[in-house]
Chains A and B, each alone.
Chain A
Amino acid sequence: MNNMRFDGYGYPDMNVFDQVFLQSNNNMNPAINMNNQNMGNQNLAQPYEGYIRGNLFNNLYQQYKNYQPARLIPNNEQAELLLNVDQITFAAHELKLYLDIHPDDKNIIRLYNNYQKMANDAINAYEKKYGPLLAHTPSKEDMFSWEAYAWPWEREEL
């Protein structure tokens, strides 16, 4: 907890993606303006909240007994960059499953495109310092990056 940073990536109280949205969309924030569209009474959680509970859709969330989702708090920069990737790609994935069967929902398509753009940025930011996440990312020249960094089941500190 001591080396947590609060430069706009603060967890869990503030979410950088909320800010990006508010800046880039102003009053066009599709996450906020969705209720009167064909989403009906559905409303979406922000990426961090949706991610930690495994469900971006508030109307579908179903708690088990008194269990609460684990608050994922990164305690180093690598964990923080990875959590950024995890949460935004998850949000995009959730919208993709929804769009698969509601392909005409233009508001959600717009939000999906925004999340995918942010996911690419988050992946690039991680890969620059901590090695490739995607199989098609080019390698460093002095070592084969793909195999050099820890594999997911061994990244116990993250």
Chain B
Amino acid sequence: MWAYEKRLQYPVSIQKKDLRVARYLITQYGGSNGEMAAALRYLNQRYTMPDNRGKALLTDIGTEELAHIEIICTMIYQLMKGATIDEIKAAGLDTHYAEHDSALYPTDSNGVPFTVTYFATTGDPLADLSEDMAAEQKARAVYENLLDLTDDQDVIGPLLWLRQREVVHFNRFKELYEYYRDNLPQPRDE
């Protein structure tokens, strides 16, 4: 089971409304390299990890990704707070507004809704962990793209922090991948 903690893993306090940046950031909520895809990917893959190392690491990183969803959603919520219809139209969020008003909804920056086809489970730990390593690298690259698109320090702080988490997670997955590669009996030729 899970227990909610009533705090953000990293603080978000954005003073300046910015609809464009909200639209950019939403892809790390519901886009292909976003935090929701990450959480669901690891929390689905964990059941078939071959030992407790894999079950523990995928549970714990998958759980942390849920906290990252909350950080990204808080950023979007604060960036959009008090927006006028004109501002929403100017940022290209009018199509989001039509269905959702200012409510959160997982899409990418172009408004394409989240889909589970963004991730895979194969039952093969090396295949799954290879995907996980790639996912962390892609998410890191997207955070860097997002950093290039803003000069608001209130936004940059959390983005830098989330980017660094991708770096740590990539390295943990890599260590586990190498451990399994060297220690598991391999049913298939590598």
A interface list, Cβ under 8 A from B: 52-55, 57, 60-62, 64-65, 67, 69-70, 72, 82-83, 85-86, 90, 93-94, 96-98, 100-101, 103, 131-136, 146, 149, 151-153, 155-158
| Distance between Cα atoms of A90 and B162 in the complex (Å) | 13
Q: A54-B161, A54-B163 are in contact. List 9 more A-B contacts (CB 8 A).
A: A69-B164, A86-B9, A86-B10, A86-B11, A90-B9, A93-B64, A97-B57, A101-B176, A131-B6
Partner of A101, one of B6, B57, B144, B157: B57
B5 touches A134 (CB 8 A): yes
Instruction: Check A158 against B6 for contact (C-beta < 8 Å).
Output: no
A132–B6 touching, CB < 8 Å: yes
Does the CB pair B163–A97 fall under 8 Å? Answer: no
* B interface with A by C-beta (< 8 Å): 3-15, 52-53, 56-57, 60-61, 64, 70, 73-74, 77-78, 144, 147, 153, 156-157, 160-165, 167-169, 171-172, 175-176, 179
From A57, A64, A156, B163 is in contact (CB under 8 Å) with A64
Q: B73 is contacted by which of A67, A132, A153 (Cβ under 8 Å)? A: A153
* Interchain residue pairs A-B with the least CB separation, the first 5: A54-B164, A70-B157, A100-B56, A153-B74, A54-B161
Contact of B6 among A61, A64, A103, A133 (CB under 8 A): A133
* C-alpha gap A83/B168 in the complex (Å): 21
